[in-house]
Amino acid sequence: MRLKDKVAIITGAGRGIGEVTAKKFAAEGAKVTVADVNEDAVNKTVAEIRETGGEALGLLVDVTNREDVDRLIDETVKNFGRIDILINNAGITQDAQLIKMTEEQWDNVINVNLKGVFNVAQAAARVMKEQQSGVILNASSVVGIFGNFGQTNYAAAKWGVNGMTKTWAKELGKYGIRVNAIAPGFIATPMTEKMPDKILNMMKEKSLLKKLGSPEDIANGYVFLASDEARYITGTILSIDGGTVL
């Protein structure tokens, strides 16, 4: 087991990449706090982890809400004693071209995908500093490297996530805290299900491997970066995108 007895918080772990990552972490021996805004999804992920003999705590958490975030940190420490790993996975899309994007679409995506990452990382880093150890992993995207048609808000947030990842690596390294991000390509999850087939087929074509990725492909990256195998890796943005060049 590569994460035996490590304590991990995963946001947005009710479904998609977060759900699969939470299950994989539990299978690798981690104690997992499953945090999400969707109560049914939280309960389902937690139940499935427990059915397979894993250890999980489910919490209803909106990463944009500082009180929710404080409760997430407090409850995790109360239940599991420490925080070894944070995966800032929660994210949303609300697409529109620049000319048509509403202020609400801009604010919603920036609040969850950028400020939410800041909120949870800041609270977790304070605990990790006390411990003098920890790993923070952020969900970036190929869109945070190449941009994407119709995603001004999402690209701005993911670009910001890349910047925060490198900044935190510089600030927190001296406390034994590693900070990295994963930039997935187009992955088959509920987030991409709502995209038109035409766009998905175009994305498949753009990947050098001619297919979408699966949530397992991303979860495998998170396991590696969270594990001691990656103990000398910090400040990096790992692309897992089948060679997608946009």
Among 58, 184, 221, 242, binds ligand NAP (CB under 6 A): 184
User: Is residue 240 a contact residue for ligand NAP (CB under 6 A)?
Assistant: no
User: Is residue 116 a contact residue for ligand NAP (CB under 6 A)?
Assistant: yes
Quick check: helix, strand or coil at residue 242?
coil
Residue with tokens 């918080």: 9
Task: List the Cα angle 146/148/154 in 5-degree steps.
Answer: 100
- Toward ligand NAP, which CB reaches closer, 12 or 54? 12
Please give the single-letter amino acid code of residue 87: I
Following DSSP, what letter does each residue of 82-141 receive, concatenated? ---EEEE-------B-TTT--HHHHHHHHIIIIIHHHHHHHHHHHHHHHHT-EEEEEE--
For the CB of residue 4, give the shortest distance to ligand NAP in the complex, in Å: 25
User: Is residue 91 a contact residue for ligand NAP (CB under 6 A)?
Assistant: yes
For the CB of residue 227, give the shortest distance to ligand NAP in the complex, in Å: 20
Biggest alpha carbon–alpha carbon distance for the chain:
51
- Toward ligand NAP, which CB reaches closer, 38 or 43? 38
Among 22, 49, 87, 112, binds ligand NAP (CB under 6 A): 112
Among 90, 156, 164, 238, binds ligand NAP (CB under 6 A): 90
Note if 232 is an active site residue. no
Residues with catalytic roles: 154
